[in-house]
Amino acid sequence: MGIEIHVDDDGLPQLVERVVSRRALVTGASGLLGAGTARVLAESGTEVTTLQRRPSGVPGVRDVLGSVTDPAAVEDALESVDTVVHVAAKVSMSGPEEEFRAVNVEGTRILVHAARRRGVRRFVHISSPSVAHAGSSIVGEGAGPADPERARGPYARTKAAGELIALEADTEDFRVLVLRPHLMWGPGDLQLTDRIVQRSREGRMPVLGTGAPLIDTLYTGNAVEAVVAAVAAVDHTHGEALVVTNGEPRPVGELVRGIALAGGAPEPERTVPAGLARRAGALIERVWERDLFRVRSAGIGSADGEPPLTEFLAEQLSTAHWFDQRRTREVLEWTPTVSIDEGLHRLAAYYRDR
């Protein structure tokens, strides 16, 4: 079975009418964003191929099982394709940097070079705002340049390098548009939403500092809409990166509590000073990979194998980061369909149904 795909259809008919791609490749379609994008494109009449390690579960698509690090699998997946949506990435809070580099940098390089050789015209690359985040607050800014030297942690550094590879390949004949979805959450999301809910149930989801810094987030259904809009927009705007959010900054503590309550978990009540959390996260990162078995045996880790805290995560949960969305909405000719409040309502219904 594939993953559960929950995409709001309210804003999709107008978006899919703008899509001119006839044959598209979506990488990473075993994840929520990739699967949702593949489903919408397939339902719009586009012939869709997906590339990932396990079946996507998306009806009506051709699955190629493999990795973007495998040139043979990439060549197979690119057969007769005119558009690529590159979602696949190694996403984790910890791990050896060479593992992130293999997928996020070298995998992107292999895919970009093969796509150009095959005559692909459109390349939508999914990145992250973390590629331009050096640890300080971001207040109403646009998408700064990706910076592998200053980005925090192996995921952010390698995603920054991968984004630069994609943008450097941009030409009139190979049009590249980068999207940086910010803190996606919603029904079916296992990266952020389910972790907040599960850790809140276990009493292991504190609020860092005052919980007052404002942050932007992105409801998952809106994220899929934005990617579909980018497939249409890349024909007229390319060679740049856009941060994508709901455009509704909220206090981070309020959002964490809202997601936990929507998932039927107790409201997080414990607070930890932000500075202490950052120091603890840095220490945990240093010991985590060296002695993973002992740390998990002591009950410190989580069932998903991720450390309970990293320095980057502590920064994200205690620092303001919200973005100017005017350029994003101008280029994509799109605004989010589902508000944060409506998204929390839908999330609560999803967990009740489960």
- Annotated catalytic residue, options 155, 219, 350, 351: 155
Asked if 153 and 310 count as a contact pair (C-beta separation under 8 A), the reply is: yes
Higher pLDDT, 285 or 330: 330
Residues whose CB is less than 8 angstroms from the CB of residue 106 and which lie 6 or more positions away in sequence, other chains included: 69
- Identify which of 101, 105, 111 has the alpha carbon closest to the alpha carbon of residue 64: 111
Residue 237 has pLDDT above 70, yes or no: yes
Domain extent listing, the chain: 12-182+218-247+322-338
pLDDT at 295 over 80: no
Q: 80-115: per-residue pLDDT in tens? A: 999 999 999 998 766 788 999 999 999 999 999 999
> 12-182+218-247+322-338: what fold?
Rossmann fold (3.40.50)
Question: What is the DSSP secondary structure assignment for residue 95, as one 8-state letter?
Answer: S
Q: What pLDDT is stored for residue 311 in this prediction?
A: 61
Dist CA 112 CA 125 (whole Å) = 10
> pLDDT tens digit string along 240-291?
999 999 999 999 999 999 999 999 999 888 787 666 666 666 666 666 666 5
CB atoms within 10 A of CB 204: 14
Task: Report helix angle 340-353 to 252-262, nearest 10.
Answer: 30
351 is catalytic: no
Nearest-angstrom CA–CA distance, 50 and 68: 11
Over the chain, what is the mean pLDDT? 86
Using DSSP, state whether 223 is helix, strand or coil.
helix
Q: Report the predicted TM-score, pTM, of the whole model to 2 decimal places.
A: 0.88
